[in-house]
A = this chain, B = another copy of it.
Amino acid sequence: MRTKENTARLLISCADRPGIVAAVSQFLARQGANILDSRQHTTDPEVGRFFMRMVFYLDDLVSKRDALEAAFNAEVASRFSMDYRFSRADRRKRMALLVSKYDHCLLELLWKWQRDELEVDIPLVISNHDDLRTVVEAYGLPYFYLPVSKDTKPQQEAEIDRLLKEYKVDFAVLARYMQILSKDLADKYSTRIINIHHSFLPAFIGANPYKKAYERGVKLIGATAHYVTDDLDEGPIIEQDVERVSHRDQTDDLVRIGRDVERKVLAKAVEAHVEDRVIIYGNKTVVF
């Protein structure tokens, strides 16, 4: 019977060659699993990289899981030198939110989480300001106020790191968290942190993108959600979108219009990540 408990996702990445789909689907069939959804992508069938995301269910998955994984490793993964990951649909990822003062991205995620559109657990929210405490605590979530200055940054980041570990956080989302993470922290959590940058990357990297957009006189503004790497705003892009603007719009209009794009883009990116639909390859993503 198909329940959340019995449903799992299998993510695979390996050098492409003939026979992978057959091997994987055959394996699952032998195990008595039913494939619900299957998506693949190959960068080049002869010399490229193969990516697959399969969703399947298997009666009594909970007790069979370890044996299934061991069998998969032995019978399939090793044959193809696969990187792979099983992920149970009923085990929610634990997502930490970091925010500064602007609440629009935060609220979008909290609201979708609360109505179960975003199937994550939110163990904590961290902020370098105290402004959003009331809002966050109204959702019944722990709020950690960690102010930071140029001098206290290493200690503040050490505390962030400590909290993420303590709360067994799977990934973090910088929901207009306006501090630039140090190389250390970015490296430590590489590809486990999603950031929303308020421009259409690679345009307007860094600070004040709306002001720069206004000065350049662009006719569209955008937002980009990407994984954080130690290279500012250069990490793999997960999702982007734009909105039309005109000569009528001053910088603060761009800021206002941009808010809706930011929250929409960030929500889509977080959703894709949560559903294991994002695979990172090189500095790019495959988003199933």
Footprint of B on A, CB under 8 Å?
2, 18-19, 21-23, 25-26, 28-29, 33-42, 45-46, 107, 111, 117, 138, 200-204, 216-220, 222, 236-242, 246-248, 256, 260, 264, 282-287
Contacts and interface: CB of A to CB of B under 8 A. Distances in A.
A102 B231 CA distance: 37
Contacts of A22: 22, 25-26, 28-29, 35
B25 A29 contact: no
A285 B256 CA distance: 21
B25 A34 contact: no
Nearest to A30: B22
B220 A236 contact: no
A237 B236 CA distance: 28
B35 A18 contact: yes
A117 B256 contact: yes
B204 A218 contact: no
A246 to B, nearest CB: 7
10 contacts: A2-B46, A37-B42, A39-B39, A202-B216, A202-B218, A218-B240, A219-B239, A219-B287, A220-B242, A260-B264
A21 B30 CA distance: 12
Nearest to A138: B138
Nearest to A220: B240
Given A18-B35, A286-B247, A287-B247, A217 B242 contact: no
Identify the interface centre among A45, A222, A283, A287: most chain B CB within 10 Å of its CB.
Answer: A45
Contacts of A287: 219, 246-247
A260 B117 CA distance: 12
B248 A41 contact: yes
Given A216-B283, A217-B285, 8 more contacts: A18-B34, A25-B26, A41-B247, A107-B111, A200-B203, A201-B218, A203-B203, A242-B242
